[in-house]
Amino acid sequence: MKFKEFDAVVVGSGHAGCEACLALARMGIKTILLTLNLDSIAFLACNPSIGGTAKGQLVAEIDALGGEMGVNADKCTIQSRMLNSSKGPAVQSLRVQADKVMYHTEMKKTLENQKNLVVRQGEVTSLIVKNGKIQGVKVATGDEYYSKAVVICTGVYLKSRVIIGNCIENTGPNGFAPANKLTKSLIKNGFEIFRFKTGTPVRIHADTIDYSKCEEQLGDEFTPNFSTITKNKKKNLTKCYLTYTNLKTHEIILNNLDKAPMYSGIIKGEGPRYCPSIETKVVRFSDKQRHQLFIEPESLSTKEMYLQGFSTSMPSSIQYQMVHSLAGLENAQIMRDAYAIEYDLINSLQLDATLQAKHISGLYFAGQVNGTSGYEEAGAQGIMAGINAALKIKGKDPFILHRNEAYIGVLIDDLVTKGTLEPYRMMTSRAEYRLHLRQTNADLRLTQKGYELGLVTKSRYNIFLKRKEQILEVLNRLETVYSPKKLEKLFTDKNETLPKVGIKLKDVLKRNNINIYDIVKYLGLFDNYSGNVLDEVQTEVKYEGYINRQNVQINTLKKQETTLLPQDINYMDIKGLRIEARQKLDKIKPLTLGQASRISGVSPADIAVLTVYLKTLKTHR
């Protein structure tokens, strides 16, 4: 049976698939979401948390563009913490423990109520491609869905297998069915396939934990919401706990390494560098006597507790020994074994900056199928792939975020320019302009763009305009000059040297011991402005010098980023380019000179040659 009533098809309903189909539908595109199992929509297969270092920035950016992840996380928060709060604003990130059951339920409800979107269970088995253009997909029942664009968001389900010791099952996370047939179609259509591995820890019955032996981890009393449209303040509804591995734990692991699939050769896929199994940690960091582990609730509706940091694929009998060696878990009841999961993915270098396949028009990829790990990285790619698929259907120019505009830009540029040979995780250190790309100013950077795309609603846009206006109002009032007499008590109480002449409030705020709330308290100013306005102003003022310096760097590099490279260049014929550079440039075909400069194997000397070549090209055209 053939279905032709859809303009776009999204394959997979994880975090990438949800953002992709919502973006398409909200931009007016008739879309169908095809997923292996409706019960796996927005499933938090690993840790039921959203955000974290650099990931909180991604969630804020998704929200600023009009996405759903931040809205849904705010609905489902059961504990909230601001990470790195004692450090600078560039690395501060919100992280929440989300209710796993509620997160799935609320996102499924959102999809089901979305105009222009049909949600349907079914396994996509092959692509329908003709003359280098996507035509649609075929599902296991034999039905065919024809469309103008397809977004592949298969997560870890492609030919996935779960591994616990010598027990290997061809299944997806949590026992969900795998997608065993689509890989063959991808290979047939010219995609290079890799194999990665990730894992998840045991789940423990909450009533079998001795919390007196663990360190209590409370949520922060005051944290912001992810979404600018969330009205309710976050509440901490539960506690988390901290325990540690010990020498006995390490001894059990080391004595049983021959049984670990990671070391016995059973696991072939490349694992994550930044979230390794506990056995890898013990071997790699043999000098450490302990590793911290977080005990976190899965949901308010279950007794299951998640042991963060204790990912393993050891046999279940060894897992029991390992868990029972931990303080507070001596009598713990394991409800679900930890496991490793292997899965297929594509080489992300085969995609352009819109996440469209270079050799198949209208076919997009987002999420773990591109080599990333994490819900937030998936959601960020999903909304961008959905936006660009919608723009292509409408015949409009693509939407690309650059590295200086968003963490999303850093993420996608890394994937399509450098590629990845291991599960890619977003970190603040990957962003050159992280002080500029703060979680708190995501709306100031991106909401205007989301509104122009048609993703940000009028009500959300008005919230943004009001906040922007208030920030400017406060900044303007900080230009007011105050006399030493009016500032005397403030400066005395804060152990600051009182100036002899009048001083702008802006310069008062730059003093180390004075913050914006001191100005509110001592001078009676700004008490009618919200905390998120005052905090943003304070960051802008106190870090003004650093921000200005970063803006100069951004402007300097903009020339390279806006220098387009013709896609018909034959790099193999350009004299002066080194052989490696020719090969890499010919394979990746960068869109700009800036992108070319970030390709591994392309040197500054090669960029100089390219620059001269472009000038010659302009002269002859």
- What CATH architecture is 2-199+343-453? 3-Layer(bba) Sandwich (3.50)
CB 366, CB 8: distance < 8 Å: no
Per-residue confidence (pLDDT) for residue 262, from 0 to 100: 85
Query: Average pLDDT in the 567-573 region?
Result: 91
Q: Is the pLDDT of residue 619 over 80?
A: no
Structure tokens at 205: 């019955």
Per-residue confidence (pLDDT) for residue 132, from 0 to 100: 97
Query: 485: pLDDT confidence band, cut at 50, 70 and 90?
Result: very high
CB 26, CB 390: distance < 8 Å: no
Query: Average pLDDT in the 464-475 region?
Result: 98
Q: Is the pLDDT of residue 585 over 60?
A: yes
Q: Is the pLDDT of residue 579 over 60?
A: yes
Fold: same for 2-199+343-453 and 563-620: no
Per-residue confidence (pLDDT) for residue 250, from 0 to 100: 97
Per-residue confidence (pLDDT) for residue 523, from 0 to 100: 96
Q: What is the DSSP letter of 121?
A: E
Task: Report strand pairing: 124-130 vs 133-139.
Answer: antiparallel
Query: Average pLDDT in the 458-484 region?
Result: 97
Q: What is the rounded distance in angstroms from the CA atom of residue 55 to the CA atom of residue 88? A: 16
Q: How many other C-beta atoms are found inside a 10 Å radius of the C-beta of residue 109?
A: 12
Q: At what angle do helices 442-453 and 458-477 cross, to 10 degrees?
A: 140
574-583 long-range contacts, CB within 8 A, separation 24+: 574/609, 574/610, 574/613, 576/609, 576/612, 576/613, 577/606, 577/609, 577/610, 578/603, 578/605, 578/606, 581/606
pLDDT in tens, 271-302: 888 788 999 999 999 999 999 999 999 999 99
Q: What is the rounded distance in angstroms from the CA atom of residue 90 to the CA atom of residue 113? A: 37
CB 428, CB 90: distance < 8 Å: yes
* Residue 34 burial (10 A CB sphere; 0-12, 13-18, 19+): buried
* Cut 0.85: pTM above it: yes
CATH code: domain 203-340 is 2.40.30.260
3-state secondary structure 84-110: CCCCCCCCCEEEEEECHHHHHHHHHHH
Q: Is the pLDDT of residue 365 over 60?
A: yes
Per-residue confidence (pLDDT) for residue 235, from 0 to 100: 83
Give the residue extent of every domain in the chain: 2-199+343-453, 203-340, 458-548, 563-620
| Residue 32 dihedral angles phi and psi, to the nearest 5° | -120, 135
Q: Spelled out in words, what is the top-level CATH class assigned to the domain 563-620?
A: mainly alpha
CB 383, CB 442: distance < 8 Å: no
**One CATH from 3.40.50.300, 1.10.287.130, 1.10.10.1800, 3.30.450.20 for 458-548:** 1.10.10.1800
pLDDT in tens, 252-261: 999 999 999 9
Query: Average pLDDT in the 34-45 region?
Result: 97
Query: 108: pLDDT confidence band, cut at 50, 70 and 90?
Result: very high
Per-residue confidence (pLDDT) for residue 233, from 0 to 100: 85
Structure tokens at 536: 């943003």
pLDDT in tens, 430-461: 999 999 999 999 999 999 999 999 999 999 99
Query: 559: pLDDT confidence band, cut at 50, 70 and 90?
Result: confident
Query: Average pLDDT in the 353-362 region?
Result: 97
pLDDT in tens, 118-132: 999 999 999 999 999
Query: Average pLDDT in the 410-424 region?
Result: 95
Q: Is the pLDDT of residue 331 over 60?
A: yes
Per-residue confidence (pLDDT) for residue 621, from 0 to 100: 57
Per-residue confidence (pLDDT) for residue 431, from 0 to 100: 93
Q: How many other C-beta atoms are found inside a 10 Å radius of the C-beta of residue 504?
A: 13
Q: How much of the chain exceeds pLDDT 70, in percent?
A: 99
Query: Average pLDDT in the 141-163 region?
Result: 97
Among the ranges given (85-94, 212-221, 608-617), the one the predictor scored with the smallest mean pLDDT: 608-617
Query: 620: pLDDT confidence band, cut at 50, 70 and 90?
Result: low
Q: What is the rounded distance in angstroms from the CA atom of residue 506 to the CA atom of residue 479? A: 6
Mean pLDDT value across the chain? 95
